[in-house]
Amino acid sequence: MAAREAAPAFARRLGAEAARRDALDAVRWHPRDGTPADLRAVVILGDGAKWIWEHIATLFGTERTEIADWYHPSQHVWTVSLPASGCPARPDRLGCCDLESDFASLLVGDFEQYVSRALGAAYSP
């Protein structure tokens, strides 16, 4: 689902769509201890904006897996690592430096290797 609208309006639409697709179904009830029902596990793909995860938490409870899309986080990584690497700021000229090949490390989940090569001694986990 995608839309350009205020966060509360989007959250209401997302909740309605999730209910329509049975994502808010209870899979286990706790009638004796008063705790909320367990909802069906869902996977949420978002752009990493804080408000998305805050609204998602209220809709889906703890039975969710949050995944940031690839495009938005990688954009931030480039923004941080390019100045430190000495590469030109224009993405169409990145073939002149090692960051382009190192970016594959990030794609397979080796964040520390990518950041340490991109930032050198400036990075310490």
pLDDT at position 19 over 60: yes
Minimum mean pLDDT among 12-16, 81-85, 95-99, 100-104: which range? Answer: 95-99
- What is the rounded CA–CA span in Å between residue 25 and residue 108? 33
Instruction: Name the nearest CA neighbour of 85 among 42, 33, 40, 123.
Output: 123
* pTM greater than 0.85: no
Domain segments of the chain as ranges: 7-68, 71-120
Instruction: Name the nearest CA neighbour of 77 among 68, 121, 54, 2.
Output: 68
pLDDT digits (tens, 9 = 90+) for 26-67: 888 888 887 777 888 888 888 878 888 888 888 887 778 888
